Amino acid sequence: MGTLARPSVVAEILEKHGIHLARALGQHFLVDGNVLRRVVEGAALKPGNTILEIGPGIGTLTEELCDRAGRVVAVETDRRLITALRDTLGDRNNLEILQGDALRVDLPALFSPGEPLKLVSNLPYSIATPLILHTLHELPQLRSLTVTVQRELADRYLASPGTSAYNAVSVKLQFLTDIRRLAHVPPSVFFPPPRVESSIMHFERKKSALSLPQVDAFFSFLNAAFSSRRKKLVNALSGGRNAYVGRAPAEAALDETGVPASSRAEELTPDKLLQVFLALQQKS
């Protein structure tokens, strides 16, 4: 593996640039060669691929991506780390470094519509889920995501109906992608070590029969359906001052799709929730 992924090297680079890492920004860099290998092998990189990396830090993963892909676009919010990254990897011809918040940067402007794009990142834990959903929404050419995230988040992404971890995010990501956990990784593979365990996750985008506006509408439905775990689905959809839908159409949609009136959202599969949503769409 590369030359950067060693705790002593990372510490030296940070000291050189006078950088003290901010735990609030989730700044934990991968420094284990075996874990880096699992990430890049899990992404199945090819020379013709374009890679989006969010939160490259000083470049421990970026270095490996540049060795394997045709183009790497690294988006980093911390200006101090941008300076360090340019110092360590600025001579790489296939690396483009952009300073900014990945949730606010105009991502579509960075890539052509037909560009074979993959996201490979050690994601900041505090915003991992919004980043995953945002990139899938903004970049229709994004084929896959291979990322490290907090293990608790990974459990939610993979959760099954009827379990405590199953929620609207579980359904959204399972609807959009096929999800696999590639490995569990301990805190010791990061510098500095986080306080939690992590997982390497791979998301492969599915083809969807829904248009982007329909997907947005489905996700709004899911937010309402999972707004209260204690409520029956019909009440979650039709209750409160800002009800998603009236009670009569909610009851009719459940009846039409064979969902018992006593059901809660967390008991239903993504496919069944989609059926209820489509039935409601026909009644609106």
Check which CATH number belongs to the domain holding 201 and give it. Answer: 3.40.50.150
CA distances to 38, 206, 280 from 30, rounded to whole Å, are: 12, 29, 46
162 and 24 belong to one structural domain: yes
Give the per-residue pLDDT at 240: 77
Does any domain span residue 2? Answer: no
Two tokens at 173?
């990501």
Q: How many domains does the chain have?
A: 2
Residues with pLDDT less than 50, the chain: none
221 and 176 belong to one structural domain: no
- Lookup result for tokens 């830090």: 57
Mapping DSSP to helix (H, G, I), strand (E, B) and coil, where does residue 99 land?
strand
* Inter-residue contact 111 to 141 (CB < 8 Å): yes
145 and 237 belong to one structural domain: no
CA distances to 34, 134, 273 from 224, rounded to whole Å, are: 42, 19, 12
Residues whose CB falls within 8 Å of the CB of residue 222, separated by 6 or more in sequence, listed in order: 168, 171, 172, 265, 273, 277
32 and 107 belong to one structural domain: yes
What is the spatial distance between Cα 178 and Cα 150, in angstroms, rounded to a whole number? Answer: 19
Does any domain span residue 1? Answer: no
154 and 261 belong to one structural domain: no
pLDDT in tens, 134-178: 999 999 999 999 999 999 999 999 999 999 999 999 999 999 999
Two tokens at 178?
């096929």
145 and 171 belong to one structural domain: yes
Q: Which residues pair with 29 in a beta bridge?
A: 191
What is the spatial distance between Cα 277 and Cα 268, in angstroms, rounded to a whole number? Answer: 12
Q: Which of 188, 205, 222 represents a domain boundary (last residue)?
A: 205
* Inter-residue contact 169 to 271 (CB < 8 Å): no
Q: Which of 205, 227, 258 represents a domain boundary (last residue)?
A: 205
Tell me the H-state helices in the chain.
Answer: 7-16, 33-42, 62-68, 79-89, 128-138, 151-158, 168-176, 212-225, 233-238, 247-256, 270-283
**CA proximity to 227, closest of 215, 241, 216, 213:** 241
Two tokens at 75?
């988006």
46 and 127 belong to one structural domain: yes
Q: How many CB atoms lie within 10 A of CB 59?
A: 31
Domain that holds residue 231: 212-283
Mapping DSSP to helix (H, G, I), strand (E, B) and coil, where does residue 11 land?
helix
Give the per-residue pLDDT at 158: 98
**CA proximity to 173, closest of 217, 211, 219, 237:** 219
151 and 12 belong to one structural domain: yes
Residues whose CB falls within 8 Å of the CB of residue 134, separated by 6 or more in sequence, listed in order: 102, 103, 107
Chain centre distance of CA 196? 18
Return mean pLDDT, the chain.
94
56 and 116 belong to one structural domain: yes
CA 176, 121, 75, 131: dihedral to nearest 10 degrees?
30
159 and 245 belong to one structural domain: no
